[in-house]
């Protein structure tokens, strides 16, 4: 169980493991997070794409297709052994799978048979799509298999997991057959052998410092901004609070502009009502208790 690595940490881990990484434009912010959370993460899932041609495969995994919007994974491993990063965050790759399998992955124990589809895998797994037709005849080049091994090991090192945290889609969701053409048991053996070697030397990144919101400045903005024309940004902390309201599903992202206008007042009032406040106590003007609770839920501290 772990908090997802940052995009920078994931990129560095893959490169430190010796992979050639292609950063597809916009990958750091391409995700499906509006459909639900990503994390805590518990493992790595391997897929095949049922496509041919690296450029086409990467494009499909980046954009998705009718009925299944992209990104369809975090990284695409092409036949030449390169990994193309196409997304970061929640991705449409795992779908619903077996909660008993998830429990085994968390415990790093032998996997049971997958016979249920009752658990959101998109939330809990990193996903790597691998270019292959999946017909049992399309070959898996040595460079590609080694890249799968290295990519899985890189993520495992990031989170101090062993190879039992690496599974195939066919082990997660009933009816799936991917990856077809090599066994996940053999791949886990390869990953475990790689993890038995010295980990790449890299500094442990310091956790980012939580931003601080000054309550008095925020209240001043809340009382003054709505009466002004345009979109004045009178206090930078407004952006932090608006981002939290967006995460809470109370404010549209396009309206998060740093201006504590009437839309933000209404969004904050909705937060106050969610906490049980009514009437004048839910007027959209922040108070200490409601702001502290918003900060605890969405990663900022409050200065009175």
- Report the alpha-carbon distance of residue 59 to residue 51 in Å, rounded: 11
User: Residue written as tokens 């809990």?
Assistant: 124
Average pLDDT on 60-81 reads 96
Q: In 3D, which of 206, 259, 263 has the Cα closest to residue 233? A: 259
> Which residues are paired to 73 by β-bridges?
none
pLDDT tens-digit map of 222-235: 888 777 666 667 78
- Ordered alpha helix ranges (H), the chain: 7-16, 54-63, 99-107, 121-124, 142-159, 184-195, 215-224, 237-247, 262-274, 288-298
Q: How many CB atoms lie within 10 A of CB 97?
A: 26
pLDDT for 202 equals: 47
User: Residue written as tokens 């493991």?
Assistant: 17
pLDDT for 304 equals: 83
Percent of the chain with pLDDT over 70: 94
Average pLDDT on 196-211 reads 63
Tokens of 78: 């092409």
pLDDT tops 50 at residue 144: yes
pLDDT tops 80 at residue 79: yes
pLDDT for 286 equals: 95
Average pLDDT on 185-201 reads 83
Tokens of 124: 């809990």
Tokens of 179: 């990856």
Residue 206 banded pLDDT, cuts 50, 70, 90: low
pLDDT for 254 equals: 86
Transcribe 157-168 into DSSP letters. Answer: HHHT--GGGEEE
Average pLDDT on 90-99 reads 97
158, 200 contact by CB (below 8 A): no
pLDDT for 256 equals: 87
pLDDT tens-digit map of 98-116: 999 999 999 999 999 999 9
- Reply yes or no: is the peptide bond before residue 37 cis, omega within 30 of 0: no
CA angle (16, 19, 21) in 5-degree steps: 105
Reduce the DSSP state of residue 267 to 3 states and report it: helix
- Reply yes or no: is the peptide bond before residue 115 cis, omega within 30 of 0: no
pTM: predicted TM-score of the whole model, two decimal places: 0.65
pLDDT tops 80 at residue 1: no
57, 49 contact by CB (below 8 A): yes
When the pLDDT of each residue in the chain is averaged and rounded to a whole number, the result is 92
pLDDT tens-digit map of 235-291: 889 989 999 999 889 999 888 888 898 999 999 999 999 999 999 999 999 999 999
- Report the alpha-carbon distance of residue 142 to residue 39 in Å, rounded: 32
Residue 90 banded pLDDT, cuts 50, 70, 90: very high
Percent of the chain with pLDDT over 90: 82
Give φ, ψ of 22 to 5 degrees.
-105, 120
Sign of CA dihedral 145, 146, 147, 149: positive
Sign of CA dihedral 111, 117, 118, 124: positive
Q: In 3D, which of 259, 281, 257 has the Cα closest to residue 271? A: 281
pLDDT tops 90 at residue 96: yes
- Give 10: exposed, middle or buried? Use CB within 10 Å, 0-12, 13-18, 19+: buried
Q: In 3D, which of 77, 76, 118, 74 has the Cα closest to residue 92? A: 74
pLDDT for 100 equals: 96
* Residues in Cβ contact with 208 at an 8 Å cutoff, skipping those fewer than 6 apart: none
Average pLDDT on 189-202 reads 76
DSSP 8-state class, residue 199: P
pLDDT tens-digit map of 14-69: 999 999 999 999 999 999 999 999 999 999 999 999 999 999 999 999 999 988 99
Domains of the chain: 7-195 (3.40.80.10), 212-303 (no CATH)
| Least confident window among 153-162, 191-200, 244-253, 282-291 | 191-200
């Amino acid at each position: 169980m772990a908090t997802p690595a940052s995009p920078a940490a994931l990129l560095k881990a893959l490169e430190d493991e010796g992979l050639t990484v292609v950063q597809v434009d916009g990958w750091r912010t391409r995700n499906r997070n509006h459909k639900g959370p990503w994390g805590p993460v518990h493992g790595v899932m391997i897929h095949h794409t049922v496509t041919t041609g690296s450029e086409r495969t990467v494009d499909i995994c980046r954009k998705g297709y009718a009925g299944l919007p992209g990104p369809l994974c975090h990284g695409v491993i092409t036949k030449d052994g390169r990994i193309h990063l196409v997304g970061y965050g929640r991705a449409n790759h795992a779908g619903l799978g077996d909660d008993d399998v998830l429990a085994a992955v968390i415990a790093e124990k032998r996997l049971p048979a997958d016979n249920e589809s009752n658990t959101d895998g998109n939330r809990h797994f990193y996903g790597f799509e691998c270019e292959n037709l999946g017909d049992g005849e399309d070959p898996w080049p040595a460079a590609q298999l080694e890249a799968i091994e290295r990519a899985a090991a890189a993520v495992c090192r990031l989170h101090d997991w062993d190879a039992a945290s690496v599974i195939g889609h066919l082990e997660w969701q009933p009816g799936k057959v991917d990856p077809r053409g090599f066994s996940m048991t053999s791949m886990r053996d390869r990953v475990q052998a790689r993890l038995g070697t010295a980990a790449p030397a890299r500094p442990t990144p310091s956790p980012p410092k939580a931003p601080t919101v000054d309550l008095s400045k925020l209240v001043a903005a809340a009382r003054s901004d709505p009466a002004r024309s345009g979109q004045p940004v009178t206090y930078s902390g407004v952006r932090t609070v608006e981002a939290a309201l967006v995460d809470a599903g109370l404010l549209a992202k396009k309206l998060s502009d740093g201006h504590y206008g009437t839309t933000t007042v209404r969004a904050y009032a909705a937060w106050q009502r969610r906490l049980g406040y009514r009437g004048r106590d839910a007027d959209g003007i922040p108070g200490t208790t409601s702001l502290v609770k918003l900060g605890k839920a969405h990663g900022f501290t409050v200065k009175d």
